[in-house]
Structure 1
Amino acid sequence: MNTVALIGIDLGKHSFHLQAQDHNGRPLFRKQLSRPQLLRLLAQQPVCRAAMEACAGAHCLAREIQAQGHQPLLISPQFVRPFVQGNKNDFLDAQAICEAASRPNMRFVTPKTEVQQTLSVLHRLRESLIRDCTKSINQLHGFLLEFGISLPRGMVVMRRLATVLAEHRLPPRLVVLLQRLHAHFGYLDEQIKVLDRELVEHVEADDLGSRLLSIPGVGPITSSVLLTELGDARQYRSSRDFAASVGLVPRQHSTGGRQNLLGTSKRGDKNLRRLLADWVRALLCRRHSNVVACALANKLARIAWALAQGQGRFETGPDGCAA
């Protein structure tokens, strides 16, 4: 009887589609299973590789598979798509995952830990609250403008709302609604401050996080995002690989021995890319400000990788440059 060497898993919310193959790539079976059934099946199998796309739920399942002694392989969905044969369905997706995982030069995604995933959730929640705050400010501006009241852009409308309501005769019902919107903004703002305090506490208590804070221009928010993306940094062969994963290196379109470098690839986490570039946007040198921002963001990403690889802190020399 042939031994299962690789199982391709097409992830779903309630059911999972599997294709298993042996060491020679011959298919052995196809199954549609629930999550408990999948884990029971894997528990009965000899040690093998389990491949899946790096999407929602993949990191949690990868940790469960790893706990059973198997080797989880997470593949970026863009690398699986070319291997889908014919029309798309769940079993063909599982087959394509097996094909992609069998390639010797395939790049895999390192499963995130629970701490990394929790930090990622915290950041996404914070970003959502910030968007809601911006929405509330814009709504308040719009509502007041409908009644002929125009205020400067930004947070000033929230600070001056009580004065504006006292100076203008507005319908009582409208005043109540505007005050309710103002109270909603206050709640959102307080929640953001709570999350910021949690981020600071987590980063300062973490060894790598505290060392990342030693990099000029890297604060608690950027440091915590780097913690989520970097991990122990072993999944990246070099600092350039990490910078490339964040989308801070040029795209290539080279042929015939002639190198043609285009703009930055902008792959990976755009929020991390923005955080790494924010502090240098005011610097205007001989090159365009966007070029300067991207170049220094690239440099910061590489410094962060180097700190994650070692145990040191960022140190500057007597001239203020990196030692």
Structure 2
Amino acid sequence: MTITTVGIDLAKNVFAVHCVDQNGKTVLVKSRVTRAALPGLIAGLPPCVIGMEACSGAHYWARLFRQYGHEPRLMAAKFVSPYRMAGKSGKNDAADAQAICEAVRRPHMRFVPVKDESQQAMQCLHRTRQGFIEEKTATYNRLRGLISEFGVIAPQSTDALRHIVFEQKNSLPLQVQQCVDDLLEHVARIEDNIAEYDRILSRMAKTDHRSQRLMELKGVGPTTACALVASIGNAHDFKNGRQLAAWLGLTPSQYSSGGKSKLGRITKAGDSYLRTLLVQGARSGTDRGGEKD
């Protein structure tokens, strides 16, 4: 019996592997495979389809298994769970691997494109940059909350906050003044980091032909273009633009029955960060004459 399909439940150190033949009959089951042993096990198998959930490390393993001559396919975890025969009460690594093996064989299963290293590296830049932005917002809110305890109320604008802090700082206790100075110094470093990441993304966009084509669109700048390339690559996994829009969560939800079509609000499925950039770009293109971000 030749193994044609493999399901792997990914983890940090210990993995579960479930292998079947072309008829779906179980050929090999390994409930505990160490991280060091997994590459050797998969390399020794004949070329086959390997199913995995699109979780942390999945793209790395998919690239590695592709080098061994296999066909890796990644799936969202929510599409795998219906195939877990043991149900929620019997969840374990072996059952997960079996469910993945069953799900990857379904003819209408939807798969996640495998990202190359350059795409993942670009995504790392975006994730780190977004983390800095969130940290910057949190720091300003912390500063605003601290001074409000001493009767200094600042509006939402960061410029107005800095202005009020400059004017009212001497009226605060010395310990609070130290806290204010440290927070302002911290947020200044964060803003420098954000500016540096913006410069890096801008340089990358100028050297990537896909990003350059995207930036020809109204409202699409280096940040949005690089984010799109990092997420969808050449977009060959989408049949048309409508499918891409649905993947981004920009299409209306549908509640149709009895021949009556009813559309709701947009689904907001997919990558919220990417969708946010596109919405901001659309506002920029309509409200400010095509100014790009």
> What TM-score do the two structures reach when normalised by structure 1?
0.83
Q: Which moved more, 1:171-180 or 1:254-263?
A: 254-263
Q: Which residue does 2:177 correspond to in 1?
A: 175
Find the residue that maps to 2:104 and give its secondary structure: helix
Alignment of 1:121-200 (within 5 A): 121-155=124-158, 156-166=160-170, 168=171, 170-200=172-202
| Structure 1 position 192, deviation (Å) | 0.5
Alignment of 1:45-84 (within 5 A): 45-84=45-84
Alignment of 1:145-294 (within 5 A): 145-155=148-158, 156-166=160-170, 168=171, 170-281=172-283
Deviation track 1:245-300 (CA, whole Å, cap 9, x = no partner) reads: 1011122233333333222111101122122122444899xxxx9xxxxxxxxxxx
What is the identity, as a one-letter code, of the residue corresponding to 2:271? D
Find the residue that maps to 2:264 and give its secondary structure: strand
Q: Is the 8 A contact 1:137 1:158 kept in 2?
A: no
What is the identity, as a one-letter code, of the residue corresponding to 1:143? L
What is the identity, as a one-letter code, of the residue corresponding to 1:249? T
Matched, 1:120 2:119: no
For residues 189 and 21 of structure 1, the distance between their equivalents in structure 2, rounded to whole angstroms, comes to 53
Q: Which residue does 2:102 correspond to in 1?
A: 99
Q: Which residue does 1:29 correspond to in 2?
A: 28
For residues 265 and 228 of structure 1, the distance between their equivalents in structure 2, rounded to whole angstroms, comes to 22
| Structure 1 position 60, deviation (Å) | 0.7
Calculate the aligned-residue CA RMSD, in Å. 1.7
Q: How many residues align?
A: 282
Q: Which residue does 1:316 correspond to in 2?
A: none
For residues 280 and 189 of structure 1, the distance between their equivalents in structure 2, rounded to whole angstroms, comes to 25
For residues 65 and 11 of structure 2, the distance between their equivalents in structure 1, rounded to whole angstroms, comes to 16
Find the residue that maps to 2:37 and give its secondary structure: helix
Q: Which residue does 2:291 correspond to in 1?
A: none
Q: Which residue does 1:43 correspond to in 2?
A: 43
For residues 263 and 139 of structure 1, the distance between their equivalents in structure 2, rounded to whole angstroms, comes to 34
Matched, 1:10 2:9: yes
For residues 191 and 114 of structure 1, the distance between their equivalents in structure 2, rounded to whole angstroms, comes to 23
For residues 66 and 164 of structure 2, the distance between their equivalents in structure 1, rounded to whole angstroms, comes to 56
Find the residue that maps to 1:36 and give its secondary structure: coil
What is the identity, as a one-letter code, of the residue corresponding to 1:275? L
Deviation track 1:62-104 (CA, whole Å, cap 9, x = no partner) reads: 0000011100011111110111112211111111111111111
Find the residue that maps to 1:74 and give its secondary structure: strand
For residues 283 and 207 of structure 2, the distance between their equivalents in structure 1, rounded to whole angstroms, comes to 30
- Pair 205,69 (structure 1): closer, same or farther in 2 beyond 3 Å: same
Runs of 4+ residues deviating >6 angstroms? none
- Pair 77,206 (structure 1): closer, same or farther in 2 beyond 3 Å: same
Q: Is the 8 A contact 1:8 1:18 kept in 2?
A: yes
Q: Which residue does 2:290 correspond to in 1?
A: none
What is the identity, as a one-letter code, of the residue corresponding to 2:148? L
What is the identity, as a one-letter code, of the residue corresponding to 2:168? V
| Structure 1 position 239, deviation (Å) | 1.0
For residues 284 and 195 of structure 2, the distance between their equivalents in structure 1, rounded to whole angstroms, comes to 26
Question: 5+ residue gaps in structure 1?
Answer: 290-323
